[in-house]
Amino acid sequence: MSDHEQAAERLRRAYSEGVIAPLRDSLDPADGAGAYAVQAINTRFWEAEGRRIVGRKVGLTAKAVQAQLGVDQPDFGVLFDDMEVADGANVSPSRLIQPKAEAEIAVILGADLPARAVTRAEVEAAVDTAMAAIEIVDSRIADWKISFADTVADNGSSALFVLGRERKPLAGLDLWSCGMVLEKNGEVASLGAGAACLGHPLEAATWLANTLAAQGEPLRKGDIVLTGALGPMVPMAPGDDIRVSIGGLGTVSFQYKD
């Protein structure tokens, strides 16, 4: 096995066997190309196992987090069909290792994007609807001691996602100044706004569209895009009730229990 294949296998096994040490022996902490190669190996493995790609997630959209990991750009991970949780549903603690919740704005494309560089206006024209969302992030790396390469290889530290029931067209929405409140067990745990996501959620979606197009994998009609966190991540413990409210987009929630 190559170093990349070994790292991919270790990450896959961690889902069932528990956390692993950072991938320093396989990947330099700043090796983005190698990390995406590991992610791609596991994406192909999981597709062969029957999982279906339904979109992508953008991560590292906050400048403070980029600075912490020593990078100057976001990253992305793959969303599979079995990662979606219904709004208001329970999420069993057995599905996760060391999860945290993030409030995000999600968009669903109503048209294909071309396999070339696109503008934000082109992305906006392709978006069908937007909605409040929660990304449940998780890490297969012990104690979240991640580098840029660790999180990219680990599918963007992804786990699950919840989409709100209210799906709205972009017309009339203010995704820049809209406020976000994330409550845990009825108490405010995280605050933010659309502008916290790479300056605007559609800027994050445009970065993703161009990054994927450069790889020959443009975004397509029906794809879900989680555009990135609007505020700080919130750690979770069994029994927690998580609820997110975003101005203009309504609410979305789940309970972390069987």
Following DSSP, what letter does each residue of 26-78 receive, concatenated?
TS-TT-HHHHHHHHHHHHHHHHHTT--EEEEEEE--SHHHHHHHT-SS-EEEE
| Both tokens assigned to 224 | 């879900």
CATH number at residue 229: 3.90.850.10
Judged against a pLDDT cut of 90, whether residue 69 lies above it is answered with no
Judged against a pLDDT cut of 90, whether residue 85 lies above it is answered with yes
Structural domain boundaries enclosing 238: 3-255
Contact between 132 and 250 under an 8 Å Cβ cutoff? The reply is yes
Task: Give the pLDDT band of residue 1 (cuts 50, 70, 90).
Answer: confident
Mean pLDDT of 137-146: 96
Contact between 99 and 83 under an 8 Å Cβ cutoff? The reply is no
Determine phi and psi for 175, rounding to 5 degrees: -85, 0
Mean pLDDT of 187-198: 96
Q: How many domains does the chain have?
A: 1
| Both tokens assigned to 28 | 């330099």
Q: Which pLDDT score is estimated for 117?
A: 97
Percent of the chain with pLDDT over 70: 100
**Average pLDDT value over all residues in the chain:** 96
Q: Which pLDDT score is estimated for 73?
A: 87
- Write the CB contacts of 223 (distance below 8 Å, at least 6 apart in sequence): 54, 55, 56, 108, 109
Q: Tell me if the pTM is above 0.95.
A: yes
